[in-house]
């Protein structure tokens, strides 16, 4: 039970193992970035100034908005870490006692502990999430009233709670059965879950939040998408229009699914709010992700780093559990396990974002090769930045921690480099 075991300081050997595993994680992740980098490199961008493309007041408005949103994001993450960290260390006492009582409930108690952690984390970050939403409404990016937004948040929380409960049962069961080597079968569970979500999320989860309309074969837009795909040697699969306008005014598109669930999804705001050359540039970019097998690439990256990542999770969660007097694999140790997973995932996200930026730059190069329309890409990036209130040149720390795409100025610079004959 929580609080009844050994409580002590972290030993030098424990700290050394954590440090060694962390260093190994970074080395393996950076190696995976090198091995999985797209064969078609992005175009080296020319240096461009934001003032060439954006009005000073628009830049100031975007910077003010994005700075505030980043501050709220960091605040929410910190609040979650502190709240779950307190649970992991057996505080407050009422939570520690509750987790202890759950130990007598077997798998149900373990699942309940997982749900408890998710609820505590959500409660801690909710003020930051609410402020983020309200600021989006104030600037016109979000079109959702508070009620519909809360409904979507509740849906997401429900899905997260189910996943957390199932994950707690699966991983805790492995920890009890294989106290030292659970990270090996755990890798199969984690990677399998990620692959399953890539397959099933487009048909099971996404429709819970939006309506997706398959473009009919006779539609002009689908015909142009298929024609562009044929030129690119890509089997398009399904093309969907999603009612993203029910949530906001941002322009976007994405590729989702693998195998039978593969699809290109276009926001209705993008379809209705861009010119034909701009829309073609977006579609060509998304088709690049299909042509380059970028979703399987992401699964391979996860498979490469998960073993060493879970080994680090074992060391961090075991250290925290022992510090709190909780037996690894018990419900009382679930907060330490989830906190360790979150911390390791955050660290692994830095090289993951590095790979993502290379993938997105490669997709831009593919789009330019397909359309040979650098002006269309340039106009698109300007329109996206203005409509989405993007920070066209974010600070380096924000780019490293959260940046999944090249910056707006880099993408404009790549379009200009292509226009000048640089391939």
Locate 415 and state its tokens: 């379009």
Instruction: State the pLDDT at residue 6.
Output: 43
Cα separation of 264 and 276, whole Å?
A: 17
Give the integer Cα–Cα distance in Å for 67 and 62: 8
Contact 350, 309 (CB under 8 A): no
CA quadruple 109, 115, 117, 120: dihedral sign: negative
Closest by Cα among 63, 109, 118, 59 to 87? 118
| pTM (2 d.p.) | 0.91
Residue 26: C-alpha distances to residues 107, 305, 312, 337 (Å):
34, 9, 11, 20
Burial class (CB in 10 A: 0-12, 13-18, 19+), 160: middle
Domain boundaries, the chain: 55-212+287-419
H or E element in which residue 241 lies = strand 238-242
pLDDT tens digits, 14-43: 888 899 999 999 999 999 999 999 998 999
Give the pLDDT confidence score for residue 10 in this predicted structure: 60
CA distance 74 to 365: 32
Q: Residue with structure tokens 């992740």? A: 29
CA distances, 94 to each of 3, 234, 295, 336 (Å): 11, 57, 43, 17
Q: What is the pLDDT of residue 295?
A: 94
DSSP one-letter code for 92: S
Per-residue model confidence as pLDDT tens digits over 60-105:
999 999 999 999 999 999 999 999 999 999 888 888 888 888 887 8
Cβ atoms of residues 400 and 416 within 8 Å:
no
Contacts of 218 (CB under 8 A, 6+ apart): none
What are the C-alpha distances in Å from 136 to residues 106, 142, 175, 248, 415?
43, 5, 42, 9, 30
Q: Closest by alpha carbon to 254, among 246, 263, 245?
A: 263
Mean pLDDT by 10 residues, the chain (423 residues): 47 83 96 95 94 94 96 97 94 86 89 97 98 97 96 97 97 96 96 95 95 90 88 84 94 90 92 89 92 94 97 94 89 96 96 97 94 92 93 94 96 94 71
For residues 338 and 62, is the Cβ–Cβ distance under 8 A? no
Q: Collect all residues with Cβ–Cβ distance below 8 Å to 182 and sequence separation of at least 6.
A: 171, 174, 175, 310, 314
Strand ranges of the sheet holding 263-267, from the earlier edge strand across to the other edge: 212-214, 238-242, 263-267, 253-256
- Residue 336 dihedral angles phi and psi, to the nearest 5°: -65, -40
């Amino acid at each position: 039970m929580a609080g009844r075991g050994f409580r002590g300081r972290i030993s030098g050997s424990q700290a050394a193992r954590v440090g060694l595993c962390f260093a190994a994680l970074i080395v393996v992740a950076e190696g995976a970035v090198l091995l999985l980098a797209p064969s078609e490199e992005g175009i080296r961008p020319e240096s461009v100034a934001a003032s060439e493309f954006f009005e000073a007041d628009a830049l100031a408005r975007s910077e003010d908005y994005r700075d505030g949103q980043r501050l709220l994001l960091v605040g929410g993450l910190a609040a979650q870490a502190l709240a779950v960290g307190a649970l992991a260390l057996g505080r407050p006492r009422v939570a520690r006692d509750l987790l202890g009582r759950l130990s007598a409930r077997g798998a149900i108690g373990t699942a309940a502990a997982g749900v408890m952690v998710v609820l505590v984390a959500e409660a801690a970050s909710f003020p930051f999430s609410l402020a983020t939403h309200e600021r989006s409404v104030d600037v016109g990016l979000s079109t959702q009233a508070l009620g519909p937004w809360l409904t979507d948040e509740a849906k997401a929380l429900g899905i997260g709670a189910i996943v957390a409960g199932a994950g707690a049962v699966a991983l805790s069961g492995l920890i009890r059965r294989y106290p030292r080597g659970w990270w090996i079968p755990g890798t199969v569970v984690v990677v399998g879950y990620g692959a399953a979500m890539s397959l099933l999320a487009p048909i099971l989860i996404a429709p819970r939040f939006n309506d997706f309309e398959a473009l009919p074969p006779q539609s002009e837009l689908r015909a142009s998408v298929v024609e562009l795909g044929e030129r690119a040697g890509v089997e398009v699969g399904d093309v969907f229009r999603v009612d993203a306008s029910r949530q906001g005014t941002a322009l976007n598109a994405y590729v989702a699914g693998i195998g039978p669930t593969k699809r290109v999804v276009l926001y209705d705001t993008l379809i209705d709010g861009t010119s034909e050359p701009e829309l073609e540039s977006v579609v060509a970019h998304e088709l690049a992700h299909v042509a380059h097998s970028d979703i399987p690439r992401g699964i391979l990256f996860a498979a490469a780093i998960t073993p060493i990542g879970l080994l680090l999770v074992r060391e961090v969660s075991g250290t925290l559990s022992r510090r709190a007097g909780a037996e690894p694999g018990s419900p009382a140790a679930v907060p330490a396990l989830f906190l360790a997973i979150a911390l390791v995932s955050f660290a692994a996200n830095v090289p993951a974002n590095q790979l993502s930026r290379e993938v997105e730059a490669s997709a831009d190069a593919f789009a330019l090769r397909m359309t040979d329309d650098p002006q269309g890409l340039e106009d698109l990036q300007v329109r996206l930045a203005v409509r989405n209130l993007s920070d066209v040149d974010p600070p380096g720390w924000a780019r490293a921690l959260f940046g999944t795409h090249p910056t707006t100025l880099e993408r404009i610079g790549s379009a200009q480099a292509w226009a000048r004959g640089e391939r």
